[in-house]
Amino acid sequence: MTEPARPIRVLLADDEELIRHGVSLILRHAGDIEVVAEAANGRQAVELAAVHRPDVALVDIRMPVCDGLAAIAPLLALDPAPRVVMLTTFGDEDNVLRALREGAAGFLLKDEGPQELISAVRAAAAGDAVLSPGVTGAVISRMLRAGGPPDDGGAPADERIARLTGREREVLVMLGEGLSNQDIAARLGIGVGTVKTHVGAVLEKTGSTSRVQAAVLAHRTGLAS
């Protein structure tokens, strides 16, 4: 008899008690998610993560004592390290970009609906990137103004796109739309594992170090709008 999979362990860090209570309440109603700890600042988040070993850490960007940005590196230094997803608001795109550079798995707007929040936790636990559609466009615009992704050793953007197969190009377009692996799989009618393989190939062939950089490339080359 197959044993049931253990719940996804989540640590929630936000200095607003009301936000923590609301998010925790939503997640506790998902049968496969367990909120194992709540923190009011980044320092406490790191301390609790070392004890409770969460799979996913939902971390507010702006907190006293130690903000979410400063907490990313020590969280990722833990063994095992949680997947760190930043909780943000509109207009905080600069900090979101910093978080992604620090290694955060993605970002989620605080006012996302319950199902979007639950889906984001599941996606992060599965190794997927979490890119809230509500802020992805603004983040990509900031990156475009900053010059976009690396130049891959001088290779023009069109040359990098030419390295892709037809299917990989389709996946790149959907990355430009901010879709998750699950969403891409559903749209293309293929398995999530196959999508992960395609995403890995897209990142390698385009010289992108993250899904967001690949999304920027899709926009720069006109594949996505």
For the segment 115-133, what is each residue's pLDDT rounded down to a tens digit? 889 988 998 898 877 877 6
207-210 contact pairs (CB < 8 A, 24+): 207/149, 207/150, 207/151, 207/152, 207/153, 207/155, 207/160, 208/149, 208/150, 209/149, 209/150, 210/100, 210/129
Cβ proximity of 138 and 185 under 8 Å: no
pLDDT in tens, 70-112: 999 999 999 999 999 999 876 677 788 888 888 898 888 888 8
Residue 88 belongs to what domain range? 8-141
Q: What is the pLDDT of residue 91?
A: 62
pLDDT of residue 148: 53
Residue 150 has pLDDT above 70, yes or no: no
Same structural domain, 126 and 51? yes
The overall average pLDDT reported for the chain is 86
- H or E stretch covering 60: strand 56-60
Query: Which residues lie closer than 8 Å to 133 by C-beta, 6 or more apart?
Result: 178
The answer to whether residue 41 is domain-embedded is yes
Total domains, the chain: 2
Residue 154: the pLDDT is: 56
Residues 180-196 have pLDDT tens digits of: 788 899 999 999 889 99
CA dihedral 85, 87, 91, 94 (to 10 degrees): -40
Query: Is residue 86 one of the residues assigned to a domain?
Result: yes
Pairwise CA distance, residues 65 & 69, whole Å: 12
**Cβ-contact 195, 185 below 8 angstroms:** yes
Beta bridge partners of 56: 10, 83
Out of 117, 141, 165, a domain closes at: 141
Q: Are residues 97 and 185 in the same domain?
A: no
User: Last residue of a domain, which of 141, 161, 178?
Assistant: 141
Last residue of a domain, one of 119, 141, 163: 141
